[in-house]
Structure 1
Amino acid sequence: MTAAARLLDDVCHLTAQSLNRLETSEHFRVVKMLGEGSYGKVVLAVHNQSASASVCPGSPMALKFFPRATTSLCSFLREYNLSLRFCTHPSLSRALGIAYLTPSHYVFAQQAGLFGDLYDFIVPEAGVEEDRCQRVVSQLSGALSHLHSLGFVHRDVKPENVFLCDAACRWVKLGDFGMAKARGTKVPEVWYRSPYCTPEAETARGDGDGAGERSEPEEKKRGPRVWASVEPSVDSWALGVLTYAMLTGAHPWPQTSSDCGAYLKYLHWFRTAKSPEEELDLWAEPQHQGPDGTPADFGAKEQPSVAPQFARFTPLGRAFFRLLLNPGPADRGRPEDALGYLGGAWVPVGERERLEERRKKSRGGGGGGAVNEVKLKDGRGLR
């Protein structure tokens, strides 16, 4: 356990002894609901008056409510103190030093993403602009690297947990640390039907949904649970899937499993193609390009060997995905490694123009955020 993880345990113990009971309406004016899910709810509020040095009267903030009936005090305090004490990176959402309890909820205040979350900006089957996507990847890579350097793993990187401070994604913040754990912590492995679920989790497939305790008959029927060590590689995988969703408005496969055809095609390509470095070969002589910006021999030489869902990307883009979406967790690239793939084109000109046309049509028709087909933990997801 790192020094930061030990300190987190200590400050949680101290905070538990000083948690005040307050009435929200006496100290805050609630402006609107920002989100609601199984964890509780988040509202945008304005603080009336405060003795806290971190906020001023009239400051907008997000209040996160956790039902006391379904939330342990320990888990609440860990999320609050992790956000307050250790999320000092500009692209991590930080708590504001206000935590209290009501008769029905635990509550803490955090910085508000006034432009919503990334989920609402991703156009179905069209994604977001590539430069906007690369800005998000750059910031998330830094945020995750900061967490990992302190010995913590986020474990829930997805569009709903990336909050926007402006519409152009020049400043985003990764939030929601309810799933975060110290690196090396042993947890029950859980497999769920989502592309964000890592390949190594399939060892626990058929072990139920992983929620709550199993009864004794269930324990005997299914056998002992699979336990896994929390490692930063799960955040790398999620960052890769999130980037694909941003660029395309879709997921690369419905689920990460050995019986999913789209994922199996990717595995075949991954195992038979060159390594990302060899495939990229930045020092190679420039190839002749077709009118859409792809190599002139792209269809004849490269496309058949590439998994269909990744053939739409440039060699640089494919190398980026193969870095983070490595099926072997020990060989998976780190978020900071992804920074070396920024700046160049990930999507050829022709494909970029096609996606932009789809975005224009979607916006003109009133299209909004991504469609709800693949169910994630809070019921939202991309196709």
Structure 2
Amino acid sequence: AMNLNADKEASEVVEELLELTSQNLAKMEVKDHYNIIQELGQGKYGRVLMVTHRIRGTPMALKLVPKQTSKLWNFLYEYCVSLYLSSHPNMVNMFGIVFESQEHYGFLQELALDRDLLALIQPRIGIPEDAVKRCARQISNALGFLHCKGLVHRDIKPENILVFDKDCRWVKLTDFGLTRRKGTILRLISGFLPYTAPELGHFCNSEGLPIDFNLDSWAFGVTLFCIQTGYFPWEKCLPGDFFYEEFARWVKSGEAKEPCTIPRHWRRFTPEALSMFQKLLAVDPKKRGTVEEVLNYMDFQWKVDNWKEKEDDDEEEEEDSECLSELEES
């Protein structure tokens, strides 16, 4: 009952925020109020700029979405969800400033000078284990808070985790453009990333698929692999992707703890870390663990000491490089 009430409360609050915001959307041009310092990022939905207030000098991050390719409701929904969640210490802070210009919709949020987690990852190396664990704990807490509100993020990846110091002592979740209520029916998949759960590739009927928290568990598991290795575990979780099929066979085989059966790119992890991954990345979504699963493994070592891929794997790795690509912003 508590989850149902939280779900209802979140929906009602966001709906009220949407109504109020749409009625009071300010009109202004960016350059009249803010100095543009530099571009921080760009994607298919818009771009993020570092700006300072012309009078007060406050540094901020400005998200701009082009009107031509965006619906006002989608833009306002992302803003209102961000505002609603911003009370949590591991969610990005909002300034409560939202507006439209002649060509864009925009809102302002806190600036992360160290950018995002993707910027910290060394290709094929990752980041130190203590930093990985600090990040894992904070994002698990943020996602747990989100899920308690009955919401699913649906876009967990390193570039959506803002970093406020290089040791990951403070990180925050951002980008709620795809966030939806649990149970919302998903009828269309726009594209497959390494973070996309396998069940999303299996439904083709008109009934669609209800969104669930376990979509975030899968993406969180893939993200943890990426930040510890510096590359993706697979290109996409679809038939024909060798690395995904190898992983799925291993998990289903029941021989998950036998060293000789572990896929090569997972052998750098300790048995405890592999157990954690098996729960977060259970191919069957009904058996998948929650995002809080990682909290049970904080006292264990995650990576094998002095691990190196065998020399006889070097040739194979060259052939693998196209699929096991270094992390790039999607």
Q: TM-score with structure 1 length normalisation? A: 0.77
User: Matches of 2:233 and 2:217 in 1, distance apart?
Assistant: 15
* Structure 1 match to 2:305: 349
User: Matches of 2:177 and 2:86 in 1, distance apart?
Assistant: 13
Deviations 1:282-337 (A, max 9, x none): xxxxxxxxxxxxxxxxxxxx321222222221111101101100111122111112
Per the TM alignment, residue 102 of structure 1 is displaced from its structure 2 partner at its CA by 0.3
Is 1:45 the equivalent of 2:51?
A: yes
Unmatched segments (≥5 aa) in structure 2: 1-6, 310-321
- Go from structure 1 to structure 2 and tell me whether the alpha carbon gap of 1:374 and 1:102 turns closer, same or farther (over 3 Å shift): farther
Is 1:247 the equivalent of 2:228?
A: yes
* Structure 2 match to 1:259: 240
Unmatched segments (≥5 aa) in structure 1: 50-56, 208-223, 280-301, 356-370
Is the 1:189–1:228 Cα contact (8 Å) retained in structure 2?
no
- Go from structure 1 to structure 2 and tell me whether the alpha carbon gap of 1:372 and 1:307 turns closer, same or farther (over 3 Å shift): closer
- Go from structure 1 to structure 2 and tell me whether the alpha carbon gap of 1:258 and 1:373 turns closer, same or farther (over 3 Å shift): closer
Is the 2:235–2:323 Cα contact (8 Å) retained in structure 1?
no
Deviations 1:215-252 (A, max 9, x none): xxxxxxxxx54511111111100010000011111111
User: What does residue range 43-82 of structure 1 map to in structure 2 within 5 Å?
Assistant: 43-49=49-55, 57-82=56-81
Per the TM alignment, residue 274 of structure 1 is displaced from its structure 2 partner at its CA by 6.2
Q: TM-score with structure 2 length normalisation? A: 0.88
User: Matches of 1:95 and 1:337 in 2, distance apart?
Assistant: 29
User: Matches of 2:12 and 2:44 in 1, distance apart?
Assistant: 29
* Structure 2 match to 1:296: none
Is the 1:93–1:111 Cα contact (8 Å) retained in structure 2?
yes
User: What does residue range 88-99 of structure 1 map to in structure 2 within 5 Å?
Assistant: 88-99=87-98
Per the TM alignment, residue 133 of structure 1 is displaced from its structure 2 partner at its CA by 0.8
One-letter amino acid of the counterpart of residue 294, structure 2: A
* Structure 1 match to 2:175: 176
Is the 2:221–2:277 Cα contact (8 Å) retained in structure 1?
yes
* Structure 2 match to 1:197: 196
* Structure 2 match to 1:118: 117
Is 1:380 the equivalent of 2:323?
A: no
* Structure 2 match to 1:165: 164
SS of aligned partner of 2:183: coil
The structure 1 residue matched to 2:267, chosen from 308, 311, 333, is 311
Deviations 1:267-288 (A, max 9, x none): 222122368xxx6xxxxxxxxx
User: Matches of 1:176 and 1:82 in 2, distance apart?
Assistant: 10
State the structure with more CA Rg. Answer: 1
One-letter amino acid of the counterpart of residue 22, structure 2: A
Is the 1:100–1:106 Cα contact (8 Å) retained in structure 2?
yes
Is the 2:231–2:324 Cα contact (8 Å) retained in structure 1?
no
SS of aligned partner of 1:349: coil
Is 1:235 the equivalent of 2:216?
A: yes
Is 1:104 the equivalent of 2:103?
A: yes
SS of aligned partner of 1:36: strand
* Structure 1 match to 2:249: 268
One-letter amino acid of the counterpart of residue 50, structure 2: L
Is the 1:374–1:380 Cα contact (8 Å) retained in structure 2?
no
User: Matches of 2:94 and 2:246 in 1, distance apart?
Assistant: 43
User: Matches of 2:301 and 2:230 in 1, distance apart?
Assistant: 18
SS of aligned partner of 2:69: coil
